Homo-oligomer: A and B are copies of this chain.
Amino acid sequence: MSEIESAGTVGMRKPARERILDTAADLFYREGIRAVGIDTIIARSGVAKMSLYRNFASKDDLVCAYLERSMLQQAAWWDRVVARHPGDPRAQMKALFTALGHWIDHPKFQGCPFTSAAAELRDPANPARTLALAHKRMVRERLRALAVAAGAADPDRLCAQLQLLMEGAYAAGRALDLGPGNQAVASAAAALIDGACGEGRK
C-alpha cells in the first residue's frame, strides 16, 4: 500500500524498490534464498540498507514479494503458450510441456523457484512456503481444467501424472543432465495425454 503510493508520488524517476526486487529475484533464483544475505542484495543493487527495510518489512517479506512476482510471470507464460492453440485443450497441454522442455534446457534455468523455496523453507508457518504451495495448487487446477476440457477419461489421474512430470522436469533440468531433456518431457507428456484422452481424437 504505502510503498505503491510512495512510488507513485515520486513518479517515473527511477524504480527504487524495483532495483531491490530485481536483484533479489535474480540472486534468490540463482543461488538460493538462504544462501543470499541482505548485505549481498543491497551491495549488488546499489541501494542503502534502510531503503530495503523501508520497502520491505523483513527478508521474509522480500522473499514473498519475489515469489508473488514469479507467480505473475509464470501465469503470463502459461497464458502465452495456451493462447497459441485456442479452443484446443489437448494441443494446449502438449504445448505447455514442449515449452517446458525448452525452458529447462535454457542456460539460465535453475529449477522451479517455488519448488526450491519449499525445499529451503521447511517451516510450515513460513509465509513464503505457503505461497509456494498455493502456487502448486493453482497449477494443478489449471492442469485439471485442461484435462477435463480435453475429454480425458480420468482427469484427476491425468493431471496428477502431468504434474508429476512437470515437477520432474524442474528437478531434473537443474540437477541432472538428461541430454536434450526437452524431448523426453514433451514425448512423455504426449504419451500420457494421448493415452488418457483416447488415441483417436485429434
Contacts and interface: CB of A to CB of B under 8 A. Distances in A.
Interface residues of A, number: 46
Interface stretch (A41-49, A62-70, A110-118): A110-118
Tell me whether chain A's interface is mostly helix, strand or loop, or mixed: helix
A17 interface: no
Contacts of A166: 168
Nearest to A184: B160
The quantity of this chain's copies bound in the complex is 2
Contacts of A172: 163-164, 167
A62 to B, nearest CB: 18
Given A31-B122, A168-B163, A168-B168, A115 B184 contact: no
Q: Which of A31, A187, A188 has the most chain B CB atoms inside 10 A of its CB?
A: A188
Interface of A: 30-32, 34-35, 111, 114-116, 118-120, 122, 132-133, 136-137, 140, 156-157, 160-161, 163-172, 174-176, 178-179, 181, 183-185, 187-188, 191-192, 195
